[in-house]
Structure 1
Amino acid sequence: MTENRFPIDGRLPALLRGGQPLRGLFNGLPSPAIIEMCAYAGFDFVIIDNEHGSADLGVTEHMLRAARAAGIPPVVRCFEHDLPRILDMGASAVQVPMVQTVEQARRLAGMTRYPPLGARGSAFSTRAAGYGAFGGAGHTQRSNEGIAFIAMIETPEAIALAGDIAAVDGVDAVFIGPNDLAHAMGHGSDWNAEPVQRAIAQGLQAIAAAGKCPGIIALTPADEAKYGPLGARYFCNVSTSIITRALAQAASAGRDAAVRY
């Protein structure tokens, strides 16, 4: 059985440990086609956003299938209570928002891995195990080696613990959520405010110093140029922002053309 026949795309943990920048994006649209488009565009990963997106679990599973078919590692941003089912659907990684403490990070990391590395419940009838076709010890090993856990830190309290959270065994990357951080610091949605940027820099450097992959929103090449020297390597854009911007440009160009002609 060739590796690409397994439902889980297990490349992401090694990519997060590597030294190269990774570019992906959050997608909250309940559309497998968007997932395929992200793959064909050349992104390194895609985040199915089940925190702010509208996909139910059935649609999420179809988006995971689309990612596997198109060849892009799928991350699912979800809450703790959905972790078991998201993992059994075959996600390459889970990204959990609002991780606040070392203890929480340790518990979540344990939920993503089977014993003896964690406490994930075992079932081989799931899509992740090929509905039983790829179950047993091989599935357990592939899952423990090929599924990543990404913690999101989004408050000043979590930034202060960034290095300690990153150092937890089983945490593969730590992503700083700048918008929630700005709100928590009293700056509304202005994450470019100087105190927020200082907190982001502090967090990125602490995560990198702990030997884990730091992540951050990067909407422009200038964002990557700013955060890359601080250690960031897991850069995320947002699909709806890209689409809305392109649509606005197309609409504006159409109006201009109507005026000209």
Structure 2
Amino acid sequence: MAFRTLFFAAYASALTVPRNTTFTPPSPSSSTLDDVHLWGVAINPPTALPQAATANDLRWQPSLDFDTDGCYNVPAIGADGTIAQGLPHNFVSPSSDCRDPSDLDNNNVYSRQRCNANGWCIYLYDYYFEKDVAIPYLLDVGHTHDWEHIAVWVDANNKAQYVAASKHGGYQIKAAADVRWDGEHPKIVYHKDGANTHCFRFADAADDAIENAKGVWFRGPLVSYNGFPAGIRDLLYAHDFGKANIALKDSAFPGNIMSAKPTAITFDASVDALGSPGYP
């Protein structure tokens, strides 16, 4: 009984402490973060890296909105090597502490291009979220940290032909003609998938009633594969985000390419050609 009283007292305190409160808690890991949150501290994400992206990565970068029952994506790493520590997912709401308007000002998206000699290119975009809550305010089946991904497939004529959006470990794939576009940027929404955790979905006409704090289809500052400060990409790709996985790192990139690939495309997921992944 004493523990339960202490727990809910600490939890109630956590609900009232602003995200930017100055406090130094014990250094958390993803496995202990729910315990650390009992201190009543929501840890700020790292300061964003400056945009450093190739022209083509920028050309096809998706435009996003975020349903109100979820987080905004934030930087996963800062220029000093600080890695996002995430947020707890138990006994909290899906959007608590992770939907501050400032998160859209301090923001990064990550990308990697791979082309084959036949002219096909994939542009894969990675988004980091601090938590993924399935069951609000209860012991939850979700997880601290979430990585979601979007792929744009471009043909030899430099025309987008397919878009793939990550969904619970796989991808939903649509022909470009069936996707809503913001110029050359596919419109994608981060949403809570019913009683499940969060994922991306393709936007429909109703989604032009924007729900994010900027009131626009949003594209955060983009960092391409070769756009990181020296050593920072390796630090990020080596980090263990628990149940969430970076799609762009070497060990995961080919598998994500194949999962996001339409059957109509012939593509070697292990080969770079035509200058990919390129330099900003």
* TM-score tier (shorter): under 0.3
Task: Specify which structure has the higher proportion of strand.
Answer: 2
Task: Specify which structure has the higher proportion of helix.
Answer: 1
TM-score under structure 1 length normalisation: 0.26
TM-score under structure 2 length normalisation: 0.25
**Per chain length, whose mean CA-contact separation is higher, i.e. which structure has more relative contact order (CA < 8 Å, sep 6+)?**
2
